[in-house]
Amino acid sequence: MIPDVKICGITTAAALDAAIAAQATHVGLNFYPPSPRFVDIGTATALAGRAAGRITLVGVFVEPTDQELAVAIESKKLDAIQLHGEESPGRVAEIRRGFGLPVWKALPVSNADDVASALRYDQVADFLLFDAKTPKGSALPGGMGLTFDWSLLQNYRGSLPWGLAGGLTPATVHDAVRETRTSLLDTSSGVESAPGVKDVDLIRAFCEAARTAG
Ligand SMILES: O=C(O)c1ccccc1N[C@@H]1O[C@H](COP(=O)(O)O)[C@@H](O)[C@H]1O
């Protein structure tokens, strides 16, 4: 099975068009202000309009308030909300109920307990995204190009569909798919020439690698 591909942290029309042309299935818009991929509301609105009907659009948030979610979601036509912070199962359920969109919960992984803890989200999220845990005190909880031991995912016993994130590049896609059989590959810094600057050739190479993986 060919995995879905999410190109995360899109900030320009050129990167969005490159993801669509390369047959990525999803793109992510980052609403976390400290991120080098943060998009302001005007940029997000323009990109969402351009993406509408062409690709699935995911909004990435870190411990957002209801107000932040409302402003970001209003008229952006997001297809899903990705929560990439320390949101509790209760908060995930509340956001899912309150905003009526599918919720992806990102989970930081560095050991087997982290994978086991995914079960806490079984009834409250729609999708899980396993990502590398960033070191304590890091500026960002994701988007830092860090990988983790993919073999840990063999211990996942939950019922939710899930995807793989964390340091994925065109060069690592084949190994990632072979080792995890993931249904979705999510990348951000692995298709950039500098933090926040997407590279259309790397986007193309990543999507091509995903199509030929497995
Ligand atoms: O990309 C960011 O800046 C970011 C900021 C805050 C939360 C999540 C973020 N990105 C997500 O992290 C994964 C992994 O990134 P990378 O491929 O290791 O660079 C990415 O796919 C985004 O979903």
- Helix-, strand-, coil-residue percentages of the chain, each rounded to 5: 35, 20, 40
Q: Which 8-state DSSP code applies to residue 38?
A: B
Does the complex come out with an ipTM higher than 0.90?
A: yes
Domain extent for 182 = 4-211
The CATH number of whichever domain residue 174 belongs to comes to 3.20.20.70
Task: Give me the pLDDT at residue 145, please.
Answer: 94
**CB neighbour class for 86 (10 Å; exposed up to 12, middle 13-18, buried from 19):** exposed
Residue whose CB lies within 8 A of the most ligand 1 atoms, among 188, 189, 192, 197, for a mutation test: 188
Task: Give me the pLDDT at residue 77, please.
Answer: 81
Structure tokens at 180: 């995890």
pLDDT tens, residue order, the chain (214 aa): 899 999 999 999 999 999 999 999 999 999 999 999 999 999 999 999 999 999 999 999 999 999 999 999 987 789 999 999 999 999 999 999 999 999 999 999 999 999 999 999 999 999 999 999 998 889 899 989 999 999 999 989 999 999 999 999 999 999 999 999 999 999 999 999 999 999 999 999 999 999 999 6
> Which residue, 146, 143, 212, 205, is CA-closest to 170?
205
Q: Whose CA is nearest to atom 7 of ligand 1?
A: 142
> Which residue, 55, 147, 148, 161, is CA-closest to 103?
161
- In sequence order, the β-bridge partners of residue 5 are 185
CA distance 33 to 78: 18
Residues 7, 25 contacting (CB under 8 angstroms): no
Cα Dmax for the chain: 42
Residue whose CB lies within 8 A of the most ligand 1 atoms, among 10, 25, 60, 81, for a mutation test: 60
Task: Give me the pLDDT at residue 71, please.
Answer: 93
Q: Dump pLDDT digits (tens) for 112-122.
A: 999 999 999 99
Total of domains in the chain: 1
How many Cβ atoms from other residues are within 10 Å of residue 123's Cβ? 12
